[in-house]
Amino acid sequence: MRSLFALAIGLTALSFGLVAVAEEKKADKKAETKKLEGKLTCTKCALQETDKCGHALKVKDGDKEVIYYLDDKGGAEKYHGKVCKEDKDATVEGKVVEKDKKKHIQSPKVTIK
């Protein structure tokens, strides 16, 4: 009888812990998705950082500029022709992650103004 009671208490505590972890992960996922405004540019032609055309969003953060690299199809994107040779004002929405000490936007939704 004691072991069943201890088991019931243990399972109850475990279920409350799992609910708390699930709620915390939901909050983290919402916090990671951001909508950023700045200048959309080509990583090859304008920034001269890559061998192939890609995209980055330059965002002003106070006195400094932060560059977010878009994880997209690069030169194959429909908006690439507009930003390859000239920076354009744009809004990008997506999940912001850090890779190799650089900020990346995964699954970006790009709107050029």
Q: pLDDT tens for residues 43-101?
A: 999 999 999 999 999 999 889 999 999 999 999 999 999 998 899 999 999 999 999 89
29 compared with 47, residue with greater pLDDT = 47
Q: Return the biggest CA–CA distance within the chain.
A: 76
How many Å is the Cα radius of gyration of the chain?
Answer: 22
Distances 35 to 19, 38, 90, 111 between C-alpha atoms, Å: 29, 10, 10, 11
pLDDT at 85: 86
For the chain, list the strands marked E by DSSP: 33-42, 55-61, 64-71, 88-99, 102-112
User: Looking at the predicted structure, is the pLDDT value of residue 23 above 90?
Assistant: no
- What would the mean pLDDT of 23-38 be, rounded to a whole number? 67
Question: Smallest Cα–Cα separation from 56: which of 74, 66, 43, 72?
Answer: 43
Judge contact between 97 and 104, C-beta under 8 A: yes
Give the rounded distance of the alpha carbon of 73 from its chain centre: 16
pLDDT at 27: 44
49 compared with 16, residue with greater pLDDT = 49
- What would the mean pLDDT of 1-12 be, rounded to a whole number? 62
Least confident residue range of 21-30, 37-46, 96-105: 21-30
